[in-house]
Amino acid sequence: MVDVKDQAKIFKNGLMANGIHLVMKDWIININEIGDILSDNSTMFIPMKSLLNYVNTDKCRRELSIPRNVDLAIICTIIMSNSNYYNDKELLTWLCSDLQESKCRITIRGMIPPDIKEAKTGMACAILNPCIHDKIATDGLINIIVKDVCNILLIGQVDGVNNCKGVTSQNAPCKNVVYSHEHGEYCKYHLKAAMQQKRKVKQSANDDSKTKKTATEFIQPKFPQPVNILKKPESFALVDNKDKSSAKMNIIANLGCLMDKVMSDRGILKPTATTDSAKQQNNNTKFQNRQEFDTLLGTLVKLSSGGSCDFKKLLGILQLILKKIPSIHRQVLKDCNLLRICTKLLDHPSECIAIESLRIKRALKKALESNQSDLSTPTFIKPQQQKSESTRLVNNSDKVMKDLDVILNTSSKVDHYVDAEKVQSTHARMLVLENMDKAEELKKTIKHVNVMASFCQDCNKWSETTDPVCKEQGHTQVRKQTRKEFHKCINDSCGYRYFSLNGQKPPLCPGCKSSTLISEKTSIYKLRKDYLLDNEKLLDCEIGAYRPADSNSC
């Protein structure tokens, strides 16, 4: 029998049904009549979830010990309504719920009155003697069929039945229906996501505190006394140590001396007409780069402020700006609003534009935070004494060239291993590409396959599955093995792929609605798109850049 707590009854300003309190906004029929119907012994109201747990209504009656002379009824709330036509007959479909976790689909047939057609979301109704359909829909909902409209009773409008106020991952409003008096304004999925996010924040805070505590415990025994830090940078001379790092330090010192020689040789050159022209050319180049940067920045401001723009053009502007940043002065980059624009573009719907904006933002921070002082001479090398001009010219002629040749010709001991590994990886890659091409050529030759299909002897037509129209009309259908071929419409604007059974093609192309005579046989497999090698890859802003860039992406 049904539990007393789950029985339907009038409660305060609403209705107690399915184990929850339904607060009614408007009553369609008198509340006293509803009370008489619920208290009548000839009708038993059971929870909606109790009915949906059984395969059919008869089994539900047997399990709940409901006699045959007692009618079975449920109370549910409409959360979605849809109407369509089948065989020139109108069908009304309701998606109903008990405002907890049970849902079902109710299909109404026959002459449907206007009040039932106009039932809105949140309408509470009672279904008398519901009939459960044997087949379950593709979405997993049980279908209840109502053949007589007299078995439907509209009770009234339930207050607080609204859509969830959450937003999906695609920034679209959530379509789940919630009962605000019982569950609040958000569905269970958004509440679960919020709880998981809170747990992650707490866990990260606990991990940070543990890391700080561990670092403190590790540092205190190592440095019991405060460490003195030099207030001013000082230069030191190299000290001969018997440590293993002495050889490396000697090499670095020699490199520093060599750089001193090169810089001193550059310093003794007198200004000539050639140097003046080089300076003038350098100034012109800087001025031209500044003008191009200002032009690109103005174009970026116009494109980013507009409502809709060409994504490829915007991506090309961002890539050009990224190339110009190293040649622009730091003060110019600091005064412009490029950093604010890139921060705004991080939320752009195009992933390529968001990534390019992040690259520009990192390049700007690197340019603004970099130290532009001269670091050519290491601070740990003792500066050499100044020599006379004649001595420098004699000593720095041949020795500098020899030292530079030694530095440029220096190679690693493992270069030949790296080259051999590259050759092996390239050879393996070529084998993979060759096997892929062979498999693709084999797929092109397979243009038909034998399958089991249904043949209607009355209509003389083939179909992959049993035709519901022929089944309804009582035609004789037989399962046979036949030949399935694929065809492709050769119309330039179409290219649609369709199949034929035993040579029986549709009269018109499903894509462009033209005659199927304009077609050719094609492979049963969808052919792979062409992939690009490393030397054939295009820029993101060029046409064709969205083809697969590698064979691994096919």
In this structure, of 33-42, 335-344, 377-386, 482-491, the range with the lowest mean pLDDT score is: 377-386
pLDDT in tens, 405-433: 777 777 777 778 888 898 999 899 889 88
Enumerate long-range contacts of 434-437, CB under 8 Å, 24 or more apart.
Answer: 436/528, 436/551, 436/554
**Structure pTM?**
0.38
pLDDT surpasses 50 at 553: no
Identify the pLDDT of residue 53. 84
Please, is 99 exposed, middle or buried when counting C-beta atoms within 10 Å of its C-beta (0-12, 13-18, 19+)?
Answer: buried
Measure the CA angle with vertex 187, ends 182 and 189; round to 5°.
135
At residue 94, φ and ψ (nearest 5 deg) are -115, 140
How far apart are alpha carbons 187 and 194 in whole angstroms? 11
How far apart are alpha carbons 252 and 259 in whole angstroms? 11
347 token code pair? 């939320």
CATH architecture, range 4-159: Beta Barrel (2.40)
Percent of the chain with pLDDT over 90: 4
- Tell me whether strands 103-108 and 142-146 are parallel, antiparallel or unpaired: parallel
What would you report as the CA-atom Rg of the chain, rounded to the nearest whole angstrom?
Answer: 40
Q: Which amino acid appears at position 97 of this protein?
A: S
Identify the pLDDT of residue 494. 84
- Provide the H-helix boundaries in 231-377: 246-267, 273-305, 311-324, 330-335, 338-345, 351-369
How far apart are alpha carbons 478 and 473 in whole angstroms? 15
Identify the pLDDT of residue 126. 92
Identify the pLDDT of residue 125. 92
How far apart are alpha carbons 269 and 392 in whole angstroms? 12
In DSSP terms, which residues pair with 480 in a beta bridge? 453
Percent of the chain with pLDDT over 70: 74
Contact at 8 Å (CB) between 511 and 489?
A: yes
Q: Reduce the secondary structure of 473-494 to three states and give it as a string.
A: HCCCEEEEEEEEEEEEECCCCC
530/424: higher pLDDT: 424
